[in-house]
Amino acid sequence: MLNDQYEGTRKKFRWVSLIFGIIMAVLGLVVFMHPAKFALTVTWLFSIAILINGILSFIFWYDIGRDGYPKPGVLLIDAILDVILAVIIMASPGVDKFVMLGYMFAFWFIFDSATSLSMASLSFHPGFNMILGILGLILGVIMLFTPMIGAVTVAYIAGAYMIIFGIMLISRAF
């Protein structure tokens, strides 16, 4: 079974997944409590979270191959796209950050949710991860077609995604 193939690699990432999941969920709650005040800060927090997620995805992709199993190409593509999106967001000037914010988060939600859907069978809770991946895709598509809905709304959508993604990572740890 596929789950048995990746068991060694998956066990290594249980603590990392739990810690990063908690951080993501807490950051999402902070966004909900202070959406206007933290709109620009959220952009930086998300770019850092996207960068960390890209790096963790690459490490996971590498470890799978090092353990002698086939490396999922979608995971490598997701890792590369996450790092590129993070760098683009970090390099943008202040005003442009808000213009790019909707598009960048939309693409990030879509990329990571698609990856979660394709990798759900490796999870301890594949059905739960599929549901959260679908919710992430829906949020990503909504943001893609309404990028200028305002920094506060983007903060709420981003906060919701951070909570969803955090819960998904926490569920992978158990």
Question: Can you give the pLDDT at residue 9?
Answer: 63
Question: Can you give the pLDDT at residue 66?
Answer: 78
Cα–Cα distance between 139 and 124 in angstroms, integer?
Answer: 24
Using CA of residue 26, residue 49, residue 115, residue 106, what is the dihedral sign?
Answer: positive
Question: Can you give the pLDDT at residue 99?
Answer: 65
Three-class HEC string of the chain: CHHHHCHHHHHHCHHHHHHHHHHHHHHHHHHHHCCCCCHHHHHHHHHHHHHHHHHHHHHHHHHHHHCCCCCCHHHHHHHHHHHHHHHHHHHCCHHHHHHHHHHHHHHHHHHHHHHHHHHHHHCCCHHHHHHHHHHHHHHHHHHHHCCCCCHHHHHHHHHHHHHHHHHHHHHHCC
Cα–Cα distance between 38 and 51 in angstroms, integer?
Answer: 19
Domain that includes residue 137, residue range: 2-172
Under-50 pLDDT residues of the chain: none
How many C-beta atoms surround the C-beta of residue 172 within 10 A? 24
Contacts of 82 (CB under 8 A, 6+ apart): 50, 51, 53, 54, 57, 108, 111, 112
Question: Can you give the pLDDT at residue 51?
Answer: 92
Question: Can you give the pLDDT at residue 121?
Answer: 82
Question: Can you give the pLDDT at residue 83?
Answer: 93
Question: Can you give the pLDDT at residue 10?
Answer: 62
Question: Can you give the pLDDT at residue 163?
Answer: 92
C-alpha closest to that of 100 among 47, 165, 161, 28: 47
Question: Can you give the pLDDT at residue 52?
Answer: 93
Say what the pTM is: 0.51
Residue with tokens 């991946």: 133
Question: Can you give the pLDDT at residue 128?
Answer: 87
Structurally, the chain folds into a number of domains equal to 1
Q: In this predicted model, what pLDDT tens digit does every residue of 51-82 receive, in sequence order? A: 998 999 899 888 887 777 788 888 889 899 98
Q: In this predicted model, what pLDDT tens digit does every residue of 149-160 receive, in sequence order? A: 655 666 787 788
